[in-house]
């Protein structure tokens, strides 16, 4: 009975979130639909500690759909993976309700942590194409992660994050000045470039 409910939920999610869909039958062609049904089954076996069966189901789903969801991940209602090729969701990742993820997104770890290694994504978050969210921290509800961003630190709710490393450019619909950004989320590459520029100025003065 649960699997029927999951199927109905996934159909409704895709029909409500993708304006390109023209009929209910099209839902069954969506990689997001197929992989989420496989994930629900695999997660059931994972919770029962049938780890081999769980991984077998998830690996088959990955090969068929191009989306990798570890059966240990905890996913709430209403996850929509649009054009999902290349999406990776790690074992200890937690995704709350009504989250949208686009292709090429990674919810991964840094390789240094034990236990909870992957991010927690709160309600109503949108993660754009190619974004990488790496580490055990939280992305707050209603936040948006820009395409290609690399997020390495916690994001408060109602924020927009862009860049490498990710910086908050908007919070509660208000733009944030760059000076504040440098203090809250420092950019080590930019800092090194500024140091080199300062050294060049000193050398130029000496040469003159």
**8-state DSSP, 43:** H
Looking at residue 68, its pLDDT comes to 94
Geometric angle at alpha carbon 108, from 106 and 113, rounded to 5°:
170
Q: Is the pLDDT of residue 2 over 80?
A: no
Distance CA 17, CA 98 (A): 10
Task: Look at phi and psi of residue 112 and say left if phi exceeds 0, alpha if psi is from -120 to 50, else beta.
Answer: alpha
Of the ranges 114-118, 129-133, 173-177, the best mean pLDDT one? 129-133
Domain ranges within the chain, ordered by starting residue = 2-176, 177-208
From first CA to last CA, the distance across the chain in angstroms is: 82
For 154-173, the pLDDT digits (tens) are: 999 999 999 888 888 878 77
Q: Which residues pair with 171 in a beta bridge?
A: 159, 174
Residue 76 banded pLDDT, cuts 50, 70, 90:
very high
What per-residue confidence (pLDDT) applies to 187?
Answer: 58
Higher pLDDT, 65 or 20: 65
The pTM of this model reads 0.74
Asked if residues 152 and 165 have their Cβ atoms less than 8 Å apart, the reply is yes
pLDDT at 177: 52
**CATH class, range 2-176:** mainly beta
Q: What percent of the chain has pLDDT over 90?
A: 50
> Across residues 191-202, what is the average pLDDT?
86
Q: Is the pLDDT of residue 81 over 70?
A: yes
Mean pLDDT of the chain: 86
Q: Please state, in angstroms and as integers, the Cα–Cα distance from residue 155 to each residue in 4, 100, 113, 115, 138, following that order.
A: 35, 16, 19, 21, 6
Q: What is the pLDDT of residue 1?
A: 52
Distance (Å) of CA 121 to CA 2, 95, 138, 193? 24, 5, 6, 33
């Amino acid at each position: 009975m649960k699997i029927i409910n999951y199927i109905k939920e996934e159909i409704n999610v895709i029909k409500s979130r993708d304006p390109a869909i023209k009929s209910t039958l099209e839902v069954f062609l969506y990689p997001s639909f197929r992989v989420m049904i496989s994930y629900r089954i695999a997660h059931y076996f994972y919770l029962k500690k049938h780890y081999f069966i769980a991984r077998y189901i998830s690996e088959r789903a990955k090969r068929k759909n191009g989306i990798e969801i570890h059966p240990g991940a905890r996913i709430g209602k209403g996850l929509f993976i649009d054009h999902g090729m290349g999406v990776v969701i790690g074992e200890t990742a937690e995704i709350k309700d009504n989250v949208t993820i686009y292709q090429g997104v990674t919810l991964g770890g840094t390789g240094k942590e034990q236990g909870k290694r992957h991010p927690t994504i709160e309600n109503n978050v949108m993660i754009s194409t190619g974004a990488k969210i790496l580490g055990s921290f939280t992305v707050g509800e209603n936040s948006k992660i820009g395409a290609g961003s690399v997020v390495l630190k916690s994001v408060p709710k109602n924020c927009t994050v862009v860049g490498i490393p990710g910086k908050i450019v908007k919070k509660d619909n208000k733009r944030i000045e760059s000076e504040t950004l440098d203090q809250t989320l420092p950019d080590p590459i930019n800092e090194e470039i500024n140091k080199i520029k300062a050294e060049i100025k000193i050398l130029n003065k000496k040469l003159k």
